[in-house]
Structure 1
Amino acid sequence: MAAQKSAHAPDKPIPDATRRSQRSRQAIYDAALALVGEVGYPKTTIEGIAARAGVGKQTIYRWWSSKADVLLEAFLDLGDRAAAAEGQATYAIPDTGDLAADLKAVLRGTVDELRDPKFEGPSRALAAEGLVDEQLGRRFVAKLLEPSLQLYVDRLRSAQAAGQVRPDIDPRIGLELFVSPLAQRWLQQTAPISYEYTDTLVDYALHGLAPR
């Protein structure tokens, strides 16, 4: 009877390994970002991330080789989730036909992100660590900076096609006129970053310093 009852017992649901794996990854992402924000990058460890995420240390090492790799992927995931929350597949620079307004709008969004504690700690840690860890620095540029810079290149080329920017301008150099000063001020913390500051950068970049 016992065997017969067992034969007719309802099947237990099979655990969804993919879903469980994704939950673990998300917990690790959240733990890495939280720890960097709380104790800083140097004091963040794989052991600390594992304990915070409620997973074994070996789980992290199965997917990543270092805490830098964890943090970089966690930061990319954070950006993807922020874009999804805003209903965007990816971040993009608007093209309304008004180049100055479009650049000011996206740079104001950058100011908001750089001042957001969720983004500030991890992004500052990655930028600083990338200066001393050459391999991490290359990945940081390739995965985080380069895609963002390419959006500016595309928008400036669109403006060139519309006759709003001189055709001889190199967009890769042109974008540095407003992106680089913002990054430098934020990294060095020489002065606060604000909407007024980035609006002024755009005006200076597009109209120059000489009298019109």
Structure 2
Amino acid sequence: MKRLTSLVGMILCLVLAASTAWAGYTSYDLDRANRMRDRSEYFEARRLYSAIANDYYASDNIRRQASYFVGFCSVRLSEPRNAINDFRRFLRDFDTGYNTVLVPDALYVLGRTYETVNEVERARSCYRDCINRFPSGEFSQKCRERLRIVGGHDDPYPHHYSMDFVSDSIDAGKTTQKLSGSDPFDGFQMDLQQEKVDQLKEKFEALHAQP
């Protein structure tokens, strides 16, 4: 009986050790994914971002950033439907309380992605939501600009005073504030030629195939 008790105790200790050995992804792993993204290695980066975002041992801040950049990578891979799902998942999981980091970014990018697949009314809804909730800042201004493009000549959201410093500094020839860098559409347009996307995916899978 004592031997059985000792054996059970050893098993419980091993199970406990195994469950606590994995401390979760850290900022180091997030930095690795960011470096991949900076090198335009979007398949690899998305895989790591996704793993981090789904790791509940990781901190909320790290998971939030990783979840957002899953969608960023899907945009850069010209996968609009995946990007829509990614950003909707981000908003579902992280637009839940006082912490709104990356929420206006996600609303804007989701709207842009809806435009890409010709779901203009959903795009307008995202833009209006961003403007109503976050009336100042880079992404609310971008949403106003998109509404002027997709919404005709009527502009229910006039230029906000918070963006005046940008135009003033441009007129004065001064250096403007650096933008966030979280907009995947900045200087980029989706290439919806599926053949090219499939070729990139096959290349990635071949590089990482098991020997």
TM-score (ref. length: structure 1)? 0.31
| Greater fraction of residues in helix | 1
Q: Higher relative CO (CA 8 A, sep ≥ 6), structure 1 or 2?
A: 1
Provide the TM-score with structure 2 as the length reference: 0.31
